[in-house]
């Protein structure tokens, strides 16, 4: 019986088989970011010639905004893969430009109202500090409302983990430590983002 079904499917004309062609997609996303935790790891040589190893975590809340644009493909009736970029605030005087690859899944279909989940990974380019490339993780979900045909609006809530590099001050001179004297310099910003996205 299984062989019969397999042969039947292979012999069916392509017109009779359900087909899906990738469709382009575009969108805009506006959001509010609340960062609640900042961690850092510093290992450097300061002016006295000694090494300082400094690690810490600061629970403090900062409010920021975000605006993103995206372009991608609907690779199936329920899955979209897109590239996002824009401007994100992650902490006090900390802004980054991300280049994010994000996958979105709508169980009821991309063109229908229903739940949506997403996950993204990005390279981020800080607009301040050392301007060294870092990374970002974005995962969340929400609800999609169909507006008209292929136009929809998403209401999303997501968790974000963004990396960065600090400008380290010498404890004696107050000047910034030279890059050549820095052995390790990494910080992370943990936050929640609430956003509204327009898809078309």
Residues 143-164: tens digit of each pLDDT: 999 999 889 999 999 999 999 8
Checking if the pLDDT of 14 tops 50, the result is no
Residue pair 199/154 in contact by the 8 Å Cβ criterion: yes
Q: Which two tokens stand for residue 92?
A: 């006090």
- Any residues with CB less than 8 A from the CB of 197 and at least 6 apart, and which? 27, 28, 29, 30, 153, 154, 156
Strand, coil or helix: 8? helix
3-state secondary structure of 84: strand
Closest CA to 102 of 87, 125, 83, 79: 83
pLDDT higher than threshold 50 for residue 12: no
Average model confidence (pLDDT) for the chain? Answer: 88
Note whether 190 and 59 are within 8 A (CB).
no
Spatial separation of the C-alpha atoms in residues 194 and 156, rounded to whole Å: 6
- Highest mean pLDDT range out of 20-24, 124-128, 141-145? 141-145
Structure tokens at 163: 């990396």
Q: Output the pTM of the full model.
A: 0.83
What pLDDT score was predicted for residue 100? 98
Reported as a single tens digit per residue, the pLDDT across 66-90 is 999 999 999 999 999 999 999 999 8
Query: In this structure, what token pair is assigned to residue 106?
Result: 């709508």
pLDDT at 170 over 70: yes
Sign of CA dihedral 70, 76, 77, 78: negative
pLDDT (tens digit per residue) in 86-97:
999 988 888 899
Domains of the chain: 22-199 (2.40.160.20)
The token pair at 37 is 């935790």
Residue 75: name the closest of 32, 36, 106, 40 by CA: 106
């Amino acid at each position: 019986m299984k062989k019969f079904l397999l042969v039947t499917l292979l012999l069916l004309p392509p017109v009779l088989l359900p087909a899906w062609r990738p469709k382009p997609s575009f969108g805009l996303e506006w959001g509010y970011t609340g960062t609640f935790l900042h961690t850092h790891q510093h290992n450097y040589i300061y002016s006295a010639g000694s090494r300082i190893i400094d690690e810490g975590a600061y629970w403090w809340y900062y409010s920021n905004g975000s605006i993103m644009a995206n372009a991608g493909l609907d690779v199936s009736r329920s899955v979209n893969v897109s590239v996002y970029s824009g401007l994100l605030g992650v902490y006090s005087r900390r802004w980054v430009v991300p280049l994010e690859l994000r996958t979105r899944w709508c169980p009821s279909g991309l063109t229908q109202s229903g739940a949506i989940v997403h996950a993204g990974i990005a390279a981020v380019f800080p607009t301040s500090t050392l301007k060294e490339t870092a990374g970002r993780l974005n995962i969340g979900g929400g609800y999609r409302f169909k507006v008209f045909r292929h136009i929809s609006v998403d209401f999303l809530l997501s968790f974000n983990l963004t990396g960065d590099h600090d400008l380290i001050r010498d404890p004696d001179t107050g000047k910034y430590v030279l890059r050549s004297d820095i052995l390790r310099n990494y910080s992370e910003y943990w936050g929640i983002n609430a956003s509204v996205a327009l898809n078309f």
